[in-house]
């Protein structure tokens, strides 16, 4: 339904940034050490762009002084706005909350740890002026990540692109610029399980890669552990592919055919040579194997059922406790 108007040549579309507004969306979870640095860098970079802007910070239930730092900066500059969530909802959801609140003609989600270099936003805006609806950052070198993280990330992209019909660009994160039209489509998507990278790719439109080297975290520490990343990967794959649940009918079929062939060979052998001592080990292997396969199959059913349950409950995605800077009198800063 919402496919891109692909035949339009990008060269035919040119836009101007004059009079346009840029929204930066920054999810923050326990980021007190890095926030001041982040705002200082953003202010210098955004001043160069010649655009009206707002920075929508989503405090995702931080347990440190993140909110206090945000409020101090908001007092100093009303263009810094705050959505204070009622608890930690996770980065994907915090990002959704920010996208819902952002009012700009262009929207840029960004990590506050300065791993997404703010200098790139200028290039994004240029790509947008040349007609791109989405300009997304692509990491050309992941040397800041550990070997294991790079390896697992690569495995994930490969599996995802094999299994699902949308292609995730390798090494692209959430850091990107999106035109208002794209943001509106993403906001309309009803699912609660928001694997943002997948949704960003799913919408289509004219998407333009912008390469960059990803630096290390400026301060503080990453809150992603391998278990969390594994669950994140599962969310991504199950919400964009039915393959893990469908594959079981084929595995079952193959196992069934093997069983029939095995039975036939037993009958033939018994008729030709009579009965010999029944093979206890081979029986055990067959039983354990089929038990394992059944458990896996049921487990993969469970993964989907759990997610269906989550969608069906229809709870709101997130709960906002306070908002600062959105409807202040004369607040159009």
Which region, left, alpha or beta, applies to residue 270 given φ > 0 means left and ψ of -120 to 50 means alpha? Answer: alpha
Nearer to ligand UDP, 27 or 325 (CB): 27
- DSSP 3-state assignment of 314? coil
Rounded to a whole number of angstroms, the minimum distance from the CB of residue 31 to ligand UDP is: 5
Q: What is the DSSP letter of 214?
A: P
Contact pick of 24, 28, 51, 56 for ligand UDP (by CB under 6 A): 28
Contact pick of 4, 88, 123, 300 for ligand UDP (by CB under 6 A): 88
Residue 91 in the binding site for ligand UDP (CB under 6 A): yes
Rounded to a whole number of angstroms, the minimum distance from the CB of residue 255 to ligand UDP is: 40
Q: Which stretch binds Mg ion (CB under 5 A): 4-12, 19-27, 79-87, 103-111?
A: 103-111
Nearer to Mg ion, 113 or 235 (CB): 113
Burial 194-223 (b: 16+ CB within 10 A, else e): bbbbbbbbbbbbbbbbbebebeeeeebeee
Tell me the per-residue interface mask from 264 to 303 with Mg ion, x by CB under 5 A, - otherwise. ----------------------------------------
Q: What is the DSSP letter of 329?
A: T
What is the C-alpha to C-alpha distance for residues 187 and 196, in angstroms, rounded to an integer? 11
Nearer to ligand UDP, 60 or 105 (CB): 60
Q: Is 283 exposed, middle or buried (0-12, 13-18, 19+ CB in 10 A)?
A: exposed
Q: Quick count: other Cβ atoms within 10 Å of Cβ 181?
A: 14
Residue 90 in the binding site for ligand UDP (CB under 6 A): yes
Rounded to a whole number of angstroms, the minimum distance from the CB of residue 174 to ligand UDP is: 8
* DSSP secondary structure string for all residues of 253-302: HHHHHHHHHHHHHHHHHHHHH------HHHHHHHHHHHHHHHHHHHHHHH
Question: Cβ distance 245 to 301 under 8 Å?
Answer: yes
Tell me the per-residue interface mask from 33 to 72 with ligand UDP, x by CB under 6 A, - otherwise. ---------------------------x------------
Contact pick of 224, 226, 230, 262 for ligand UDP (by CB under 6 A): 224
Tell me the per-residue interface mask from 112 to 151 with Mg ion, x by CB under 5 A, - otherwise. -x-x------------------------------------
The tokens describing 308, both together, are 């269906």
Residue 115 in the binding site for ligand UDP (CB under 6 A): yes
Residue 31 in the binding site for ligand UDP (CB under 6 A): yes
Residue 59 in the binding site for Mg ion (CB under 5 A): no
CA–centroid distance for 197 within its chain: 4
- DSSP 3-state assignment of 40? helix
Rounded to a whole number of angstroms, the minimum distance from the CB of residue 131 to ligand UDP is: 29
- DSSP 3-state assignment of 148? helix
| Binding residue count for ligand UDP, defined by CB under 6 A | 17
Which positions touch Mg ion (CB under 5 A)? 111, 113, 115
Which positions touch ligand UDP (CB under 6 A)? 27-29, 31, 60, 88, 90-91, 94, 111-113, 115, 217, 222-224
């Amino acid at each position: 339904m919402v496919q891109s108007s692909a035949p339009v040549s990008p060269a035919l579309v040119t836009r101007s940034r004059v009079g346009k507004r840029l929204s930066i969306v920054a999810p923050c979870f326990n980021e007190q050490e890095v926030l001041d640095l982040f705002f200082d860098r953003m202010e210098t970079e955004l001043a160069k762009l010649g655009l009206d802007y707002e920075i929508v910070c989503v405090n995702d239930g931080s347990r440190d002084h993140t909110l206090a730092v945000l409020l101090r900066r908001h007092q100093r500059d009303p263009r810094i706005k705050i959505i204070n969530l009622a608890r930690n909802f996770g980065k994907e959801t915090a990002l959704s909350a920010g996208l819902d609140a952002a009012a700009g003609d262009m929207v840029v989600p960004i990590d506050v740890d300065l791993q997404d270099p703010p200098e790139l936003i200028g290039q994004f805006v240029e790509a947008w002026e040349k007609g791109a609806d989405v300009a997304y950052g692509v990491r050309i070198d992941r040397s800041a990540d550990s070997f294991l993280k790079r390896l697992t990330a690569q495995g994930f992209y490969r599996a995802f692109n094999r299994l699902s019909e949308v292609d995730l660009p390798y090494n692209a994160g959430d850091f990107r610029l999106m035109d208002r039209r794209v943001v509106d489509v993403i906001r309309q998507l009803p699912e609660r399980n928001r694997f943002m990278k997948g949704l960003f790719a799913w919408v289509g439109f004219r998407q333009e890669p912008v390469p960059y080297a990803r630096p290390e975290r400026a301060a503080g520490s990453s809150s992603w552990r391998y278990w969390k990343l594994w669950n994140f990967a599962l969310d991504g794959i199950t919400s964009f592919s039915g393959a893990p649940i469908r594959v079981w009918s084929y595995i079952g079929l193959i196992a069934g055919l093997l069983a029939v062939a095995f039975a036939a060979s037993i009958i033939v052998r018994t008729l030709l040579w009579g009965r010999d001592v029944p093979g206890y080990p081979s029986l055990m292997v067959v039983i354990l194997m089929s038990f394992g396969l059944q458990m896996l199959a049921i487990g993969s059913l469970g993964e989907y059922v759990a997610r269906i349950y989550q969608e069906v409950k229809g709870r709101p995605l997130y709960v906002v406790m306070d908002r600062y800077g959105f409807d202040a009198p004369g607040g159009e800063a």
